[in-house]
Amino acid sequence: MSQISIIQKSDILEAGRFDAEYFKPEYLDNLAIIKKNITRPLSFFIKGGYRVVYENTEIIPQNELKKQKTVNFLQANDIDGYFLKDKLKQVKYADWEKYPKGRIKEGEILIEVKGNAEKITLVPSGYQLNTLVTGSLYKFTPINISGEFLLIWLTCKYGENLKSKLKRNLMVHFIGKDDLHNIPVPVLSKSFQLEIEKTVKEAHQKQTKSKQLYFEAGQLLLAELGLVDYQPQHQLTFSTTKNEVQQAGRFDGEYFQPKYFDIVEKIENYSGGFDTIKNIVFWKKGIEVGSDAYTKIGKDFVRVSDISVNGVEESNRKISNTLFVEIKDNFQPKKDEILFTKDGTIGISHLLKNDIDGVVSSAFLKLSLKEEYQNFEKECLTLILNSIICKLQIEQLSGGAIIAHLKPSDFEKFKIPLIKTTIQTQIAKKITLSHQLRKQSKALLELAKLKVEQEIEKGGEQC
């Protein structure tokens, strides 16, 4: 259905924008609701706003890290929801000295203004401060306002709507500094801001505890296998035999790196025994429906970009309900199945707590335990698949291809340690609690957004 917005010439001149997208009715309706409140421009709440323009700054490859002094480099994809990932890429220490304004500070807000122009977060207390921020993130210290409240305001449906309106309609989205600074911010009461701040901090505490429990589960696994301090060594020179080459059916040197055979040897020598994944699980591949099957509304078509070790996000790709009914029996993931990515970012695994309201792409394998392994803790198996134990096997078996891809026949070769039952139980308990805390954290943040939206709609009590 066509949409019509009636605006004044003065509105166009004031905005400096002539594209119809900027004046969509939903944007105008959104602004009318916001104006029920006293507002100030975002610039009123900004101290030290800056976006770094780097020159010749490069991410250092993993195998080069030990050769030089480095610092963390935080990129937009290191923002996971409201939170920052702990493991970051590295750049040269010389960049730290050259770009002091790129260094993060506790309490700063980081907003993605280039690229997708969607991510936003607040640097929490205790985060690693030896970190530079990518040039696609605009950073500032909030003043005269609760940083947590401002974060929720900018990510609630009204704040998101404002940011979407400001994106320049280019090949790469961009929000200009002046546009960003002019975003209206409701001036709500100090008591309400503190209420939101308390909720966000509680959510962050639960998220931190969730990460700690997941880490502890990983350490339990590695300790059981004697791999806590294990560092795979990449060797520049090594030898193999003609017979080994013919037996493997591989002629690329990388396949025969000693580190791959070393990890397999450690698995095979585990006191609890081992088995191949082929004997432990049934697998079923997802489906490729083709872009012509995408619809604006309907059931989820889950791709690799929609999954992490923490779960599956609602996909922005949809298929029709009719198509879903036709293919769901074979391709809808069910509760207690493990999803495993075999293409793109290979090896991401997650145990489903509920059925997915959709289907998965052909980049996934759906895994279910065979009868003789029904007592194997699924969370423990999922952790093994996400660990260095399988990551090295993935590196070896998926190498030599232009596009990252793991054949199901190679997946079946994975060696899996049969972790002792008592350790499996401990691991499963920690991971289960970790996921529960993460879910609670997300619910608290959604509650904070809802409260802000409701306060805006009724014209909240002002400071």
Q: What pLDDT is stored for residue 342 in this prediction? A: 95
Q: What pLDDT is stored for residue 314 in this prediction? A: 77
Q: What pLDDT is stored for residue 63 in this prediction? A: 74
Whole-angstrom Cα distance, residue 394 to residue 406?
A: 7
- Which two structure tokens, joined as six digits, stand for 58? 């490069």
Question: Residue 328 is inside which H or E element, if any?
Answer: helix 321-331
Whole-angstrom Cα distance, residue 447 to residue 451?
A: 6
Give 194-225 as a DSSP string: HHHHHHHHHHHHHHHHHHHHHHHHHHHHHHHH
- Give the chain's domains with CATH numbers: 9-187 (3.90.220.20), 231-421 (3.90.220.20)
Report the 10 Å Cβ neighbour count for 374. Answer: 9
Q: What pLDDT is stored for residue 12 in this prediction? A: 47
Give 5-65 as a DSSP string: ----HHHHHHHT---GGGG-HHHHHHHHHHTTS-EEEGGGGEEEEE----SS--PPPGGGG
The segments of the chain whose pLDDT lies below 50 read 1-2, 5, 12-13, 18, 20, 171, 402
Q: What pLDDT is stored for residue 30 in this prediction? A: 81
CB 185 within 8 A of CB 155: no
Whole-angstrom Cα distance, residue 81 to residue 142?
A: 20
